[in-house]
Amino acid sequence: MAYAATRGGEEAIEQAERLYREDLAPLTAERVAEVRRTMPYLVDRVMGEASLYEPDLAALALVQTGGDLYEAVLLLRAYRTTQPRLWIAEAVRHADILTVRRISAAFKDIPGGQILGPTLDYSHRLLKVGVLDGEPDTVAPVTPSETPAPATQPALADWQREKGLIEDARAEAVPLEEIPDVTRDGLLFPAPRAHRLQTLARGDTGGMLALGYANMRGYGPTHPTVNDLRLGEAEVRLRHPRGTVFSAGRVRVSEAEMVSKASEGGKLQLGFCATFGWNEVKTIAGATLDLSMHFENDYPAASEEFVLYHTEPTEASGFCIHFKMPHYVTFQSSLDALRDANAKREAHPATAPETPETPDAPAPAPELEEMPS
Amino acid sequence: MSLAELTAPWQRFNYGFLDESAKREIRRKTLKAIAVPGYQVPYASREVPMARGWGTGGLQVTLTLLKPSSVVKVIDQGADDSVNAVSIRKFLRRVGGVAETLDTTAATLIQSRHRIPEEKLRADQVLVLQVPDPEPLRAVEPDISEARHMHADADYGLLWLKLYEQIVRSGRIMEGASYPSLVNGRHVISPSPIPRWDVPKLHQADNLTILSAGREKRIYAVPPHTDVAPLAFDDIAYRVEDHAGIACERSGVKGYFLNELPKGGGASVYEMSDTHFATKHIQKREGEAVSFGATYYRKGSLAR
């Protein structure tokens, strides 16, 4: 009979998945291509959180899950697990990024210039409802500038270092294969800087925004300024065994550098966050978190452990939905202790503890321990 | 010799899903966990095609131990037919092509959530427990870096205090499942959320138990023949759930851990939590030939 019951469970989960899929349009290569083409920012967001740069697979994950972002990220992360780590790319420098948008809020103009690039920042957020009634959506083509912006820009931080405004503490040259990889090592605290930045790079956009915003509002030690914010494309440069460095292709990247106004030892501090894809809100929040974590403080939202653990999309979403699973063994175990304590209290009310301030108050009810999951 | 002879044919993923470098890391960390009983060994913990919190830690250990001759049993809350147990078993079938069993005595590898089977595990069996929260100190110290220091110093004073406060407030220790237990006289572990009923089964067991938390990225172990002592006071003994005298509605058998099922009119019926063990009793009653393993409990008391 248990065999039959087991098959029953198997049939049930099979049918439940079919029911879910039946509500979605069929999964086809055309729909995947359409999502990739029309929703690049969504594709970028899941590629960043998945830490897997493959727009076709990201679009596939989005279509396959009907747009459930956490499920899409999980699909890509699990796919990533099956892929060997064959090579480690050379470091990308600020000055190498083919920049399409670059902003600094710290100065009116900066070396390399302010480049507005593609943005909705100054658009009026009006729904184009007419489109639903068949009106065509007309957007005038971009008028090219007479002098095109330079493809690459120097880092503003270089100028600030020269002026002695920030510490000249450049990373030591670490052999590529010795860079810690948070997907291959356990995360311990204080985390190596590489682990921290990697964890932020694959962090949950919404979670990082929530904690970053908490810092910005005052639940944190910093009120930062955007020092250097960029959207661009970076070459993935690999070193051939014969020694030649070559580009294996380009990836869309965003990076944000936030600068503190509070000084420490006469120097301003920088916070940094970079991620795959174009995702400004994530990198601004991430760089704010990185900056906040630098300062000694008692704010949970600026504690490295608190931030890095709770902005991990796959872990947070998985644990949240795991509460749907049966917990009747743990519940039964706690119930047993509670009933026994209640029975004792009823049988011997005199032995129940009394609080000295309110001697007439009834004995407190037993406290049920938090049930483990 | 050609290149084709030297290369394995392309496959979608490795045997047991994880690639060999992931398996190697888990094997090394598991060996360390066995060498230092109860110590939580950090590991990378890969993402697997199941959500975090749904047994991904246990699954990674099981996938690493899996071989074509394995006979696997998967249970959740003691039941083989619980939907998540079914899902994990289905995944093991897909990536490992292993034999499956519902019978504890026939399994070589048992992955479980929240229970240790009632039939005594043998030296040739490995139990893998899924762990949601590996840190017994979490309730008294949420900062894991601080908790690691406390483990290093064997500083468990706050845990003892917590138990003491429960006695003062409620007249008894109120811990339910996940009862903090001292392993090999050195490290306190959370034995995963198994009921108190199951904790004594770990003490001086014949089998190896590996506990793995995928989301929290920790592996720890209770090797065979290792002392496991639930924290208790000299004058207030450790107590398991009061289930010994209640009969299972399905099988009529008494003396094992039960699930309570609320019924109309304030009534409850109870069913044995180890569902296949109950099924074997039913099969026996119906005249089928079934064999039982030795049990940890006899007539509702620990058999030692």
ipTM value, please give it.
0.88
A297-323 confidence digits (pLDDT tens) = 999 999 999 999 999 999 999 999 999
Looking up tokens 């098959």 gives A7
Q: Cβ of B273 and A188 within 8 Å? A: no
Domain boundaries, chain B: 20-134+181-229, 242-286
B23 touches chain A (CB under 8 A): no
pLDDT tens across B67-113, in order?
999 999 999 999 998 889 999 999 999 999 889 999 999 999 999 99
Task: Check residue B254 and report its DSSP letter.
Answer: B
As a whole number of angstroms, the distance between CA A334 and CA B195 comes to 9
Residue A2 has pLDDT above 50, yes or no: no
Lowest mean pLDDT segment, chosen from A331-340, B112-121, B149-158? A331-340
Based on the fold, state whether residues A60 and A104 are members of the same structural domain.
Answer: no
- Residue A263 to residues A157, A273, A291, B40: CA-CA distances in angstroms? 15, 20, 12, 40
**Do A112 and A240 share a structural domain?**
yes
Q: Is residue A267 part of a domain?
A: yes
pLDDT in the model for residue A5: 44
> What are the pLDDT digits (tens) for B251-281?
999 999 999 999 999 999 999 999 999 999 9
How confident is the prediction for chain A on average, in pLDDT?
89
A69/A102 same-domain check: no
Distance, in angstroms, between A82 CA and closest chain B CA? 6
Q: What is the predicted pLDDT for the residue at B97?
A: 85
Q: Residue A194: which H helix or E strand, with range? A: helix A193-201
Angstrom distances, CA of residue B153 to CA of B65, B136, B149, B157? 33, 15, 6, 11
Strand B218-222 relative to strand B41-42, pairing: antiparallel
Which tens digit of pLDDT belongs to each residue from A327-370? 999 999 999 999 999 998 888 776 555 555 554 555 556 665 65
A299 in Cβ contact with A215 (< 8 Å): yes
Best B10, B47, B90, B199 residue to mutate vs chain A (most A CBs within 10 Å): B47
Nearest beta carbon to residue A1 from set B133, B243, B279: B279
- Rounded CA gap, B213 and B129, in Å? 9
Looking at the complex, report in whole angstroms how far the Cα of residue A277 sits from the nearest Cα belonging to chain B. Answer: 21
**Domain contains A134:** no
Of A326, A332, A369, the CB nearest to B195: A332
DSSP B85: H
pLDDT range class, residue A8, cuts 50, 70, 90: low
Count structural domains, chain A. 3
Phi and psi, residue A226, nearest 5°: -70, 115
Please tell me which of the candidates A82, A305, A344 has its beta carbon nearest to residue B144. A305
The arithmetic mean of pLDDT across residues A169-178, rounded, is 79
Mutate to test the interface with A, among B11, B170, B285 (most CBs of A within 10 A): B170
Q: Is residue A186 domain-shared with residue A264, that is, in the same domain?
A: yes
Residues A224 and A191 in one domain: yes
Residues A199 and A274 in one domain: yes
Residue A123 resides in a domain: no
* Chain B neighbors of A190, CB-CB under 8 A: 145
CB contact under 8 A, A10 and B242: no
B171–A341 C-beta distance less than 8 A:
yes
Q: What integer pLDDT is reported at residue A1 of this predicted model?
A: 33
Which residues have a Cβ under 8 Å from the Cβ of A148 and sit 6 or more positions away?
none
**Cα separation, B8 vs B126, whole angstroms:** 31
How far is it, in rounded angstroms, from Cα A20 to Cα A342?
Answer: 45
Question: A180 by DSSP, 3-state: which?
Answer: coil
Could you give the percent of chain A with pLDDT greater than 90? 73
> Which of A54, A81, A108 is the endpoint of a domain?
A81
Q: Do B47 and A333 touch (CB under 8 A)?
A: no
CB A66 within 8 A of CB A24: yes
Long-range contacts of A165-169 (CB under 8 A, 24+ apart): A165/A267, A165/A268, A166/A259, A166/A267, A166/A268, A166/A269, A166/A270, A167/A265, A167/A267
Contacts of A187 in chain B (CB under 8 A): 42, 217
Residues A252 and A305 occupy one common structural domain: yes
Verdict on whether the full-model pTM lies above 0.80 = yes
Question: Within a 13 Å sphere around the CA of B247, how many CA atoms are in the beta-carbon half?
Answer: 6
* Residues A197 and A257 reside in one and the same domain: yes
Q: In this structure, what token pair is assigned to residue A78?
A: 């699990």
Judge whether B102 is closer than 8 Å to chain A, CB to CB: yes
pLDDT band at B128 (very low <50, low <70, confident <90, very high): very high
User: A113 and A249: one domain?
Assistant: yes
CA distances from A156 to A15, A55, A170, A255 (A): 57, 31, 14, 13
Say what percent of chain B tops pLDDT 70: 100
**DSSP code per residue over A265-304:** TTEEEEEEEEEES--HHHHHHHHHHHHHHHS----GGG-H
Contacts of B41 (CB under 8 A, 6+ apart): B29, B30, B32, B33, B218, B219, B220
Task: Give residues with Cβ within 8 angstroms of A3, minimum separation 6.
Answer: B102
Q: Is the predicted pLDDT of residue B174 greater than 90, yes or no?
A: yes
Whether A81 sits inside 8 A of B132 (CB atoms) is no
**Span B20-134+181-229: which CATH code?**
3.40.50.11310
Residue A80 distance to chain B (closest CA, Å): 8
Does A232 lie in the same domain as A367? no
The amino acid present at B288, given as its one-letter code, is: E
As a whole number, mean pLDDT of residues B206-214 equals: 98
Residue-number span of the structural domain to which A207 is assigned: 94-118+149-170+181-314
Confidence of residue B197 (pLDDT cuts 50, 70, 90): very high
Radius of gyration of chain B (CA): 20
Would you say A294 and A196 are in contact if contact means Cβ atoms under 8 Å apart? no
A192 and A302 in a single domain? The answer is yes
Chains A–B, number of C-beta pairs less than 8 Å apart: 204
* Whether residues A211 and A271 fall in one domain: yes
The pLDDT value recorded for residue A4 is: 37
